[in-house]
Structure 1
């Protein structure tokens, strides 16, 4: 019998049909975005320049943002729950940040010199994060991780790095589960262990011994699905790296928003180095890496043989000015705790809705970041999604757009400070509508 003649799972057939219908409705409602994409494809492979923003049939083109709202090229407006993948913490029109950037521009943009603001900004961050005695700025979290690993290798005199399957440390350090190592990754000697596997990670560090320069880990895997590390896991990494002389690097590019001093302060675990990025410069280009004074000394130009660290825009005046305001005036301890609490309440409400409707869908995360999964929990490690799971995730994305909710294609939500309780209630209602309407094509719990 031909495979085409074999009986099909009606649920999968219905899921495919629902997704086809959702794609068609999406495309019909966005002719201008379609035209923008078609024109861009003539001069850009894939029609864009940032992989995470690519999806089929074409990405929605946004033309304006204000507060926690964005408007697309076809005149539709959305509640922005993507939050620029955590970089948009302050929303699209925070007056204090805009004023700081405009004032910096009025004084001249490319000065090719140091400025007072970079020391001021650095002092603000050093005062917040327990692991950071000193730091240096970069243009992105990707660059921050590159330089932190370079610093760790220079400080220890060792070459290898231990990372975790499912981790993401920037465009050149990405390790999705079940996918071959990407040719875009930098050729650093790497070892791998499973996330949240205490015994396996400890064994891997000990096996590497004096070859291992650093262990790099996200206290919550962001791109991997907002999967939090257990405290036991992170503490085991702290203990075993001290034992073997490797440096422990926390990639807090995303998770630093989860407290005044990041997740390291909330958990009470202090790494040797920390990397930052995303929101800290108020939405301007930003990255930073820092750590213990003796480690960061490898970059001290006053010392013979210091490691170089270049970057034309590392201390650009826009990011430095915006960062001083963003981290010095706006995102204080009270704001960080309020955002964390709002996110915790939102995730709890969404999970209650999923349980009420008896669907195999739930959200993982910490604080203001959350991600849906379409399989039973608990989920403690990243995984390779099935074809059906990917279809459910895509259907959720399109249904949320239809409901006026803009979030990441993978479903991730990253709350911005302008998002209100009423906005959160609106999202919960949209999740409930999705669960009720799509229950026939979602796997039963």
Structure 2
């Protein structure tokens, strides 16, 4: 039997060589993308203006999109399972959205005045998300901006309280990303250098707690000074870190705690708002004090929104004259996003919400069955599938599945998410290499997806596409099964 050290070296050698081969093959087959990337490095750091789109050895350069497909400058066409990270819900050429945008162009843009279409969209949004707690709404240009303003609103509303509770591996936009390493460093007060955040985080007084962990979150909150907590910011499913769904127990605790302490519960629904007719939180029968929304509600255009309780949002009413917050923004009510949003909400009605997320359930069920058929999931995992989730513990620094307080070790591969927010994920020290290998395998077989395995897809995707996707994952597993079944 190999020694532990040799075993680890053999495992690393296998995946490293496989990735090297995949990257070389990709580079050879995509010379025009390579050239476009190389030329762009003269004008943009890393040849890129959006970090999430970078992948080694270079990202594909996309020439065009239509329906559910994307075509690269190298002439290869891919079925798009990325769906613009959930913003591209309607695909790349929806005729109804295209028609309304053409009309907007013909009638002019950038008016510097209010329009009827922004008022129509506001009416639709408040009706759509009222069950989640949204009474009044303000439009922004992105989800990042919406979350920034929601936090500022909470601090103002609570009389200047400063502390904002966030969770491990949460992502609330380009200026609010809290890695697990950063959260552990804060709580362990390690003497090692502070880990650099992956984003230029806003300088709020953030308090970090472990996602989905009621016990440790409760301890952290109880240690805060009285009347210091302004807001709790949470995603019902963490889109930026593997599609981890929050449990009802966790969300209920946060709702009760915010009410008890007089803090504002901000639910980031930038991605999750498409998971239910009134969003992901409302599906749990809970309401936010403030919620934030993202680009799919603007038809995939530049868009964001924040809104919530009438008494809180009324601080933005200019007619009040007292205690009013200022919220300008040249493009807040731009005719493109407003017009596309009205049409988009008509398309993605309650029936479509259920049909679309059922397609996600179909995909998750297929991948889950595949993980059992290959032996990657064990009988122990079967007992916890109804409420399968990850807990990151600051005390033990371990990652485990938990259900009914039982502990089950993580498999090498897992599928997590809810509805159409899905992520096939790899675990262990070589997870990054496995993600790269998986990503390039799927690209080679005509599937476009996030390099981290995120596949929110669009309305253009069919059941046949989903079944084909599952079959391809099965082929990937078969090729590397011996390594995937190795004990860590």
Common fold by TM > 0.5: yes
- Structure 1 residue 373: Cα displacement: 2.0
**TM-score, normalised to structure 1's length?**
0.94
> Distance in 2 between the 1:84 and 1:154 partners?
34
Q: Deviations over 1:111-159 (max 9, x none)?
A: 1111111111011111111210001000000000000001111111111
Q: Deviations over 1:196-246 (max 9, x none)?
A: 111222333333331111000000111111000000000000001111100
Query: Which of 446, 450, 467 is equivalent to 1:425?
Result: 467
Q: CA RMSD in A?
A: 1.4
Alignment match, 1:149: 151
> Distance in 1 between the 2:48 and 2:474 partners?
33
Alignment match, 2:164: 161
Alignment match, 2:96: 96
Most deviating of 106-115 and 305-314: 305-314
**TM-score, normalised to structure 2's length?**
0.86
Alignment match, 1:14: 14
Aligned length: 430
Q: Which runs of 5+ in 1 are unaligned?
A: 376-385
Q: Deviations over 1:279-324 (max 9, x none)?
A: 1111101100000001001111112241111211111110000001
Alignment of 1:240-319 (within 5 A): 240-304=257-321, 305-319=323-337
- Structure 1 residue 7: Cα displacement: 7.9
Rate the CA distance shift 1:306–1:401 in 2: closer, same or farther, 3 A. same
Alignment match, 1:381: none
Alignment pair present for 1:351 and 2:368: yes
Q: Which runs of 5+ in 2 are unaligned?
A: 183-194, 377-411
Rate the CA distance shift 1:361–1:7 in 2: closer, same or farther, 3 A. closer
Alignment match, 2:115: 115
CA contact (8 A) 1:163 1:191 kept: yes
> Distance in 2 between the 1:8 and 1:234 partners?
39
Alignment match, 2:37: 37
Q: Deviations over 1:169-209 (max 9, x none)?
A: 00000012114353611101110110011122233333333
Rate the CA distance shift 1:62–1:198 in 2: closer, same or farther, 3 A. same
Instruction: Could you list the structure 1 runs, at least 4 aligned residues long, displaced by more than 6 angstroms after superposition.
Output: 5-8
Alignment of 1:43-192 (within 5 A): 43-129=43-129, 130=131, 131-157=133-159, 158-179=161-182, 180=195, 182=197, 184-192=200-208
Alignment match, 1:366: 418
> Distance in 2 between the 1:431 and 1:350 partners?
8
CA contact (8 A) 1:11 1:440 kept: no
> Distance in 2 between the 1:364 and 1:192 partners?
23
